[in-house]
Amino acid sequence: MLGIDDPLIWGVYILCILSMILCVVYGLINWNRGEEAEVQEIAEEEAWEEEEEKMQSEELGL
Amino acid sequence: MDLMILNLVILVYLLATLYLGYRGWKATKDSEGYMVAGRKTHPYIMAMSYGATFISTSAIVGFGGTAAKFGMGLLWLTFLNIFVGIFIAFVIYGKATRKMGHNLNAMTFPELLGRRFESRFIQVASGLVIFLGMPLYASVVLIGAARFLETTLAINFDLALLVYSVIIAAYVIWGGLRGVMYTDAMQGTIMFLGMAVLLFETYSRLGGVTLAHQALTNMAPLVPADLAAMGHTGWTSMPVLGSPWWWTLVSTIVLGVGIGVLAMPQLVVRFMTVKSNRELNRGVLVGGIFILMMTGVAFAVGALSNVFFLNTRGMIATAVESNVDSIIPVYINATMPEWFIYVFMLTLLAAAMSTSSSQFHTQGTAIGRDIYETLTGQKGGRSILLTRIGVSTAVIMAVILGYYLPGNVIARGTAVFFGLCAAAFLPMYTLGLFWRRTTRAGASAGLIGGTLVTVFMYLFVHKAESAPLGIAKMVLGRDVLITQMPWPVVDPMLIALPISLVLTVLVSLITRPPPERHLDLCFRGMKKG
């Protein structure tokens, strides 16, 4: 198959493409899922980002 | 070398990078806080930036060259890269890591582990493992970039390494750490297009997919006798089961790197900065395609370069270039139009930069935040200074290693660090995310056990490292402790990871469970695990 005799090689060649398709299908199905709007989470993220921002700017001396 | 074209390509590339960097910077500065800008970040950009950090010169140049030697069996690594490195990493680990990272307000990977297990020891020890282990990986990424410069610009390797290191040091210190997502995405896009052209060109030159593969299959009798004796059966077939070649391919290259990716500190951190699960869901789509186009193409083309070199020069790839790290650069220089070679060179350098900067940053924070701050309890001034010193030390260590490391080292060096991370971190990271019963003692036992067994195996059992290191020879009078096959070729991770896992589970079961209140904090908003 595909000019390759060893099934473990042509098999994985196809498996690579199949797993890519799995990723694409998963991404499409869940395209709009998982976007949280919880107030608590947003506050959490804000605090987190602020500290991250502060840490990085301090580190870089900006 | 056409200086005019080279300069033009560099100029256009730099202008585009500057423009996108400016846009990215402006987008985050203008909006009300970082978070809003983050929420608007297109999932394409997020996934490309993850991909650009994941895939470096090591994957394309190092492992592509390895495929020229081993053949298409390396595609098993591509399969794991996509299925484990993208699908499982994003869907299972990514979502849990993001949530727990937020719950515990963790900034670094060791901090996440340290806070989950309420253990300063775990944070400090993890920081140490990263700081001491990562220079090898950082160094082989530098080597990959320097090899491409060496071949394309026809300059001396030492000079190429120095030039590249100066650029990278300036880049990291100047501010490459801010996760320049837009430039990452541009680099990713060029890499994607470049690899697509490479794939198309290779197959069309060799007469199409089936004919190209058939020609490679027909080359099996040309396998050099010494490689055949080790189990090499051709470039489109797996090595002889249980042969040294088979163990190296399966245990070190495929499993070591394929699984180790889950516990790479600089990639785990990416999950903690992702804004919502939606970005992870969408990232799976982009990431899956991207990784196939990177490693899939690099490995297929690497193997097929044998056919090209046979047709044009009458010999196999490793005969044209004995250092596998140089095969992909030589192949691209021989097959691609000149302007494309320069674009590809800059892209590879950029890809190396996005990986290198995150590696150096991770090592710097390991020293400053994970080790110094945790031990002394002091924040601010001195810890920042130490982080900077840590980054500089990491760069210097990587460059020095770059000069000393031999040829044929990129893939192996990468595998060593991935294997170490898998054995040291993967069990406690996985169980910490999904098993409430995991205790501090269990995690510590796994970390210590996994690290020590890995180091011991590299020093005394796994011949590829123990022989050149020479410590086994000094202590035992021979290269390896156990000479009986397959021990000298079984990758350390294959032994160390299960030991670490068993230790973590067993010790957790016999020690007192962590306080419920702490667990509720860790797992807030997550399914009961």
pLDDT of B297-311, one tens digit each?
999 999 999 999 999
Determine the residue type at B216. L
Residues B58-102 have pLDDT tens digits of: 888 889 999 999 999 999 999 999 999 999 999 999 999 988 988
pLDDT band with cut points at 50, 70 and 90 for residue A45:
low
pLDDT for residue B47 is more than 50:
yes
Measured CA to CA in angstroms, residue B343 lies from A55, B5, B16, B170 at distances of 35, 10, 13, 21
CB spacing of A3 vs B211 below 8 angstroms? yes
Provide mean pLDDT across the span B508-526. 91
pLDDT for residue B354 is more than 80:
no
Determine the residue type at B270. R
Please report the number of interchain residue pairs, chain A to chain B, with beta-carbon separation below 8 angstroms: 154
Per residue, what are the HEC states of B55-72? CCHHHHHHHHHHHHHHCH
High-pLDDT (> 70) share of chain B, % = 91
Measured between its terminal Cα atoms, the distance across chain A in Å is 58
The residue with tokens 């937020």 is B102
pLDDT for residue B171 is more than 80:
no
Measured CA to CA in angstroms, residue B424 lies from B400, B407, B455, B456, B504 at distances of 25, 27, 11, 13, 11
- DSSP tag of B261: G
The per-residue pLDDT of chain B, averaged, comes to 85
DSSP-derived 3-state class of residue B267? helix
CB spacing of A12 vs B76 below 8 angstroms? yes
Measured CA to CA in angstroms, residue B273 lies from A15, B153, B178, B266, B298 at distances of 31, 38, 12, 11, 29
pLDDT for residue B176 is more than 50:
no
Which of A8, A50, A53 comes nearest B238 by C-beta? A8
**Tokens linked to B277:** 């699960």
Regarding predicted confidence, which is higher, B275 or B157?
B157
High-pLDDT (> 90) share of chain A, % = 42
Q: What pLDDT, on a 0 to 100 scale, did the predictor assign at position B453?
A: 96
- DSSP tag of B515: P
Distance to chain A for B452, nearest Cα, Å: 33
Query: Left, alpha or beta for B315 (phi > 0: left; psi -120 to 50: alpha)?
Result: beta
Residue B305: count of CB within 10 angstroms of its CB:
28
The residue with tokens 């130490």 is B386
User: DSSP of B448-475, one letter per residue?
Assistant: HHHHHHHHHHHHHT-HHHHHHH-HHHHH
Q: What pLDDT, on a 0 to 100 scale, did the predictor assign at position B5?
A: 80
Residues of chain A found within 8 Å of residue B86, distances taken between Cβ atoms: 23
Which residue in chain A has the smallest CA separation from B35? Answer: A46
Per DSSP, helices labelled H in chain A are 7-29, 39-60
Which of B275, B284, B291 comes nearest A27 by C-beta? B284
Measured at the alpha carbon of residue B283, what is the angle toward residues B278 and B288, in degrees to the nearest 5? 145
Q: What pLDDT, on a 0 to 100 scale, did the predictor assign at position B372?
A: 85
Asked if residues B299 and B64 have their Cβ atoms less than 8 Å apart, the reply is yes
* B207: Cβ contacts below 8 Å, ≥ 6 apart: B215
* B419: Cβ contacts below 8 Å, ≥ 6 apart: B252, B256, B260, B454, B491, B492, B493, B496
User: DSSP of B162-186, one letter per residue?
Assistant: HHHHHHHHHHHHHTGGGT-HHHHHH
pLDDT band with cut points at 50, 70 and 90 for residue B38:
very low
pLDDT band with cut points at 50, 70 and 90 for residue B56:
confident
CB spacing of B105 vs A33 below 8 angstroms? no
pLDDT for residue B269 is more than 90:
no
State the greatest distance between any 2 C-alpha atoms of chain B, in Å, as a whole number: 70
Determine the residue type at B60. I
Of B311, B349, B358, B353, nearest to B331 by C-alpha is B311
Residues of chain A found within 8 Å of residue B38, distances taken between Cβ atoms: 49
Annotated domain spans of chain A: 7-60
Backbone angles phi, psi at B379, to 5 degrees: -115, 175
Which of A5, A23, A50 comes nearest B285 by C-beta? A23
CA distance B144 to B126: 27
CA distance B126 to B114: 9
CB spacing of A60 vs B177 below 8 angstroms? yes
Which residue in chain A has the smallest CA separation from B369? Answer: A55
Q: Out of B255-259, B467-471, B485-489, B516-520, which region has the weakest mean confidence (pLDDT)?
A: B467-471
Q: What pLDDT, on a 0 to 100 scale, did the predictor assign at position B31?
A: 41
pLDDT for residue B180 is more than 90:
no
Burial class (CB in 10 A: 0-12, 13-18, 19+), B11: exposed
Residues B197-226 have pLDDT tens digits of: 999 999 999 999 999 999 999 999 999 999
Provide mean pLDDT across the span B322-350. 85
CB spacing of A19 vs B296 below 8 angstroms? no
CA distance B514 to B437: 7
CB spacing of B82 vs A8 below 8 angstroms? no
Of B386, B17, B352, B345, nearest to B167 by C-alpha is B352
Residues B102-156 have pLDDT tens digits of: 888 888 899 999 999 999 999 999 999 999 988 988 999 888 888 888 888 888 8
Residues of chain B found within 8 Å of residue A47, distances taken between Cβ atoms: 105
DSSP-derived 3-state class of residue B155? coil
pLDDT for residue B289 is more than 90:
yes
Which residue in chain B has the smallest CA separation from A18? Answer: B79
Per DSSP, helices labelled H in B325-408 are 327-335, 338-365, 374-376, 381-404
CA distance B514 to B333: 58
pLDDT for residue B410 is more than 80:
yes
**Tokens linked to A1:** 């198959």
pLDDT for residue B32 is more than 60:
no
CA distance B224 to B233: 10
Which of A3, A26, A35 comes nearest B276 by C-beta? A35
Q: What pLDDT, on a 0 to 100 scale, did the predictor assign at position B507?
A: 97
What's chain B's Rg over C-alpha atoms? 23
Residues of chain A found within 8 Å of residue B212, distances taken between Cβ atoms: 3
Q: What pLDDT, on a 0 to 100 scale, did the predictor assign at position B13?
A: 77
CB half-sphere exposure, B93, CA atoms < 13 A: 26
Residues of chain A found within 8 Å of residue B175, distances taken between Cβ atoms: 60, 62
The residue with tokens 């406690």 is B428
Which residue in chain A has the smallest CA separation from B107? Answer: A52
Measured CA to CA in angstroms, residue B375 lies from B231, B366, B368 at distances of 50, 12, 10
pLDDT band with cut points at 50, 70 and 90 for residue B30:
very low
Residue B516: count of CB within 10 angstroms of its CB:
9
Of B357, B391, B388, nearest to B187 by C-alpha is B357
Q: What pLDDT, on a 0 to 100 scale, did the predictor assign at position B34?
A: 37
Peptide bond into B337 cis (omega under 30): no
Burial class (CB in 10 A: 0-12, 13-18, 19+), B409: buried
What are the structural domains, with CATH classification, of chain B?
Answer: 43-522 (1.20.1730.10)
Provide mean pLDDT across the span B375-387. 74
Q: Out of B25-29, B168-172, B200-204, which region has the weakest mean confidence (pLDDT)?
A: B25-29
Distance to chain B for A58, nearest Cα, Å: 7
Q: What pLDDT, on a 0 to 100 scale, did the predictor assign at position B344?
A: 80
pLDDT for residue B435 is more than 90:
yes
Q: What pLDDT, on a 0 to 100 scale, did the predictor assign at position A29?
A: 92
The per-residue pLDDT of chain A, averaged, comes to 79
Which of B102, B237, B276 comes nearest A9 by C-beta? B237
Sign of CA dihedral B246, B247, B250, B252: negative
**Tokens linked to B203:** 């197959």
Measured CA to CA in angstroms, residue B323 lies from B69, B299, B326, B330, B372 at distances of 10, 16, 6, 11, 41
Q: Out of B157-171, B230-244, B513-527, which region has the weakest mean confidence (pLDDT)?
A: B157-171
